[in-house]
Amino acid sequence: MTFNDRSTPLSLLATRRSGKPREMVAPGPDPEQIDAMLALAARTPDHGKLAPWRFVVVPDEARAAFNAMLVDAYRTEKPNAGRLELEAMATFGAPAPALVVVLSSPRPESHIPLWEQQMSVGAATMNLLHAAHAMGFVASWITGWPSMSPTVRDAFGADPERIVGFVFLGTAGKPLEERPRPDPAALVTRWQG
């Protein structure tokens, strides 16, 4: 079954692709569009109504400070870092028109299991990617060293929070490539009781 018309919900699901942040161009979403995307992202399964996530928008005027913070954190955690590693950190947050940091913000005092709260933040992040696509933008969910660093995490929150990823948003600078997808027949079984 194929869905080619982007105006239908199933077609939006079938045509969403991640774009490479370095290939994203302007225009990116404006602040009102980002707020709308984040409101849609928050409409996700959330057992206990805990909202165990946070979104931090890194505006254009803060991008240089964001990249400088990454370089400082990298130097602190990896004192023998090479020039190429530091250059990668110095440009990490720069390539796309918009950037949102997504944090898992669990409620350990809740009776809701932590793993359910973590699944909820993953679903919220996926909703953000879908909302961007539905609004005509491309998005990319990136992790890597910055998402694992306690120093970087502390720039946005504190333990027990964790960075789930960095969502880059913009316009595709070139056609997005389809990547190989798993064969549903290899993943789906029918329980026979």
User: What confidence tens digit (pLDDT) does each residue in 78-105 have?
Assistant: 999 999 999 999 999 988 999 999 999 9
pLDDT for the residue 1: 47
- Report domain extents, the chain: 19-173
pLDDT for the residue 2: 53
User: What confidence tens digit (pLDDT) does each residue in 30-44 have?
Assistant: 999 999 999 999 999
pLDDT for the residue 10: 83
Which CATH superfamily, name and number, covers 19-173? NADH Oxidase (3.40.109.10)
Q: Is there a contact between 139 and 167 (Cβ–Cβ < 8 Å)?
A: yes
| Contacts by residues 89-94 (CB-CB < 8 Å, ≥ 24 positions apart) | 89/146, 91/67, 92/67, 92/146, 92/166, 93/58, 93/63, 93/66, 93/67, 93/166, 94/63, 94/67
